[in-house]
């Protein structure tokens, strides 16, 4: 049972897309398309990425008049810290999150079911995100095979 005491009903992944960022070796945007077409996203990073973000914040604070130089990082979207960013490690992590029933606590759902869509608007306000995910999947994303 998941946290809501409802049966865990997440489908299996159909495909995992890994977006490679030029000039950013320690972070990947991950899109997971489930069997039912639902798409989830999260950011996978290494400890080196976090260290670099902390150094950047330190440098920024050192330049600002009213701030004290401090090493910290602010993560705006869910991040999964992983040792290596190879496909096998990423897919194993996703499988583990699904098996532990914690996948939806760290991945953001970016598509909606038909029941959630009413005309041109939605009940949860994610239509733009869903359309963006469709464009990224079909036209923009550079993925690792």
Report how far apart, in Å, the C-alpha atoms of 93 and of each of 42, 44, 53, 89, 102 are. 12, 10, 23, 6, 11
20 contacts 30 by C-beta, under 8 angstroms: no
58 contacts 71 by C-beta, under 8 angstroms: yes
Task: Give me the residue spans of the domains in the chain.
Answer: 13-140
104-139 pLDDT tens trace: 999 999 987 554 444 444 444 444 444 555 555 554
**pLDDT at residue 9, rounded to an integer:** 58
**pLDDT at residue 11, rounded to an integer:** 78
């Amino acid at each position: 049972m998941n946290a809501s005491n409802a049966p865990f009903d997440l489908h299996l992944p159909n495909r995992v897309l890994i977006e490679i960022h030029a000039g950013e070796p320690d972070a990947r945007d991950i899109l997971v398309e489930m069997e039912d077409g639902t798409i989830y996203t999260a950011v996978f990073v290494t400890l080196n990425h976090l260290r670099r973000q902390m150094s950047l914040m330190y440098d920024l604070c050192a330049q600002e008049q009213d701030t004290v130089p401090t090493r910290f990082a602010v993560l705006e979207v869910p991040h999964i810290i992983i040792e290596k960013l190879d496909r096998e490690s990423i897919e194993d992590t996703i499988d583990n999150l699904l098996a532990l029933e914690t996948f939806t606590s760290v991945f953001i759902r970016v598509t909606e079911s038909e029941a959630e869509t009413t005309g041109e608007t939605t009940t949860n306000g994610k239509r733009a995100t869903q359309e963006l995910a469709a464009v990224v999947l079909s036209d923009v994303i550079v993925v690792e095979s």
